[in-house]
Amino acid sequence: MAEERTSHFDGLPGQKAEAQVHKNIGCTLIQAEREVVPMKILVVIPANDEEKVRLGSVMPDAEFVFAAPNDTSEELAKSADIIIGNIPPEYIRGSKNLKWLQLNSAGTDGYCDEGVVPEGAYLTNATGAYGLAISEHMLGMLLEIKKKLNLYYLNQIQHQWKDEGNVTSIEGITTLVVGLGDIGGDFARKMKALGSYTIGIKRTKGTKPDYIDELYTLDSLDKLLPKVDVVALTLPGTKDTYHLFNSERFKLMKKDAVILNVGRGTTICTEDLCDALEKGLIAGAGLDVTNPEPLPADHRLWDAPGTVITPHVSGFFHLPETLRRIVRISIDNLERFKKQEPLKNIVDFKTGYRA
């Protein structure tokens, strides 16, 4: 798929400037040639035709280039003033033009590394787009484990009419959500609605949301683990979250507890998780992320008891509404950029989190 270029929506790029020097957020004035050079905006998210028109109408003096991620190049990326969507981080390292990168992901892996995003440029993520899709995926994995639907599906494949015994319920259990952003918050809200007592962990305590019964910071994790039935992880991959869950923490959990992970696979030590499942230290794991990824076909995690694995698919654009939300976030931020107003979802380069 070749890149699609759209010039000005009102007027043509390169039009002659007026004699008086002026500033325009969508253009750069080259005084020597007295020409207006349009700002270039590279869009690599699959916006539909209506959304492309809406994006273009925000900054009609800009040159928009719409391209699939696989059709971009380092040269194209380095020529852009604004990029909307994820491209390989190495494509923008050393860019002299980039002023703002709007990611289509909530995670910022690779983009916060030193020297990737030019000094002075903004990095924003897509927080607010994924809560619906991923929280429902988490709920699906949890119900599959608690109702033994994974076992019944295997029986169905083998044409076996077999009772797998007792199951457990969500109502009346205690759920610990580690990471209360858009995704963790939506999941906690759903669990609360189904009758679970909810406990949340945030980096900074702040105000307790109404869907959370108790709120703590990460230093309370070890004292909470023996009390909860479900642990839901929605954390980014950082040095602070690396192997946050290891053999020592699995030993603190209830034997009938279930762990869910939709953040990054590195948050859990995979070998320690396999040991915990095989030894019966915990009852199950619902994983949309693993370490490594892709998970090798011969890895023992595939066969660990009580495990449900999906190949990092809970997010992305599998639910069409997620893409629509990402486009709306991008349009809103583009309007803010034009008006020189604060952007939403600005990322703190030190933590990888939204600031």
Q: Return the number of other C-beta atoms located less than 10 Å from residue 72's C-beta.
A: 20
264 in catalytic set: yes
In 300-324, which positions are buried (b, 16+ CB within 10 angstroms) versus exposed (e)?
ebeebebbbbeebebbeeebeebbe
The confidence band for 24, taking pLDDT boundaries of 50, 70 and 90, is very low
Cα(first)–Cα(last) distance of the chain, in Å?
A: 36
Cβ pair 279, 253 in contact under 8 A? no
Among 60, 59, 64, 71, smallest CA distance to 43 is for 64
Rounded CA-CA distance 229/254 in Å is 7
Among 35, 33, 43, 41, smallest CA distance to 12 is for 35
> What pLDDT does residue 36 have?
67
247, pLDDT greater than 70: yes
Among 182, 181, 215, 183, smallest CA distance to 198 is for 215
Sign of the alpha-carbon dihedral angle for 310, 221, 106, 93? negative
- Helices and strands counted in the chain (H then E): 9, 15
Active-site entry in 137, 249, 264, 354: 264
Residue 204: both structure tokens together: 């900074």
The confidence band for 353, taking pLDDT boundaries of 50, 70 and 90, is confident
What are the domain boundaries of the chain?
Answer: 4-128+320-338, 131-309
Rounded CA-CA distance 197/255 in Å is 19
4, pLDDT greater than 70: no
Rounded CA-CA distance 322/133 in Å is 7
Q: Give the H or E element holding residue 74.
A: helix 74-78
The pLDDT tens digits for 327-347 are 999 999 999 999 999 999 999
> What pLDDT does residue 43 have?
98
The confidence band for 2, taking pLDDT boundaries of 50, 70 and 90, is low
Rounded CA-CA distance 39/37 in Å is 7
Same fold: 4-128+320-338 with 131-309: yes
> What pLDDT does residue 355 have?
83
For residue 150, the 8-state DSSP code is H
> What pLDDT does residue 351 have?
87
Identify each DSSP E strand in 39-159 by its residue range.
Answer: 40-43, 63-66, 82-84, 100-102, 122-124
Q: For domain 131-309, give the CATH superfamily.
A: NAD(P)-binding Rossmann-like Domain (3.40.50.720)
The confidence band for 16, taking pLDDT boundaries of 50, 70 and 90, is very low
223, pLDDT greater than 50: yes
312 in catalytic set: yes
Q: Tell me what percent of the chain is helix, strand and coil, each rounded to the nearest 5.
A: 30, 20, 50
28, pLDDT greater than 60: no
What is the rounded (10 degree) CA torsion for 69, 71, 72, 73?
140
Residue 264: both structure tokens together: 């990054």
Cβ pair 251, 269 in contact under 8 A? no
The pLDDT tens digits for 79-136 are 999 999 999 999 999 999 999 999 999 999 999 999 999 999 999 999 999 999 999 9
The pLDDT tens digits for 141-177 are 999 999 999 999 999 999 999 999 999 999 999 999 9
Task: Residue count of the chain, please give it.
Answer: 355
Hey, which residues does 258 pair with through a beta bridge?
A: 230, 284
69, pLDDT greater than 60: yes
Residue keyed to tokens 């992320």: 289
Provide Rg for the chain, Cα atoms.
24
Q: Return the number of other C-beta atoms located less than 10 Å from residue 211's C-beta.
A: 18
293 in catalytic set: yes
Burial of 188 (0-12, 13-18, 19+ CB in 10 A): buried
Q: Which residues contact 342 (CB under 8 A, 6 or more apart)?
A: 336
Residue keyed to tokens 């997620």: 322
Active-site entry in 312, 324, 328, 336: 312
CATH among 2.40.170.20, 3.40.50.1950, 3.40.190.80, 3.40.50.720 for 4-128+320-338: 3.40.50.720
What's the one-letter identity of residue 158?
Q
Active-site entry in 90, 278, 293, 341: 293
- Percent of the chain beyond pLDDT 90? 86
Greater confidence (7 vs 173) lies with 173
Q: Return the number of other C-beta atoms located less than 10 Å from residue 214's C-beta.
A: 15
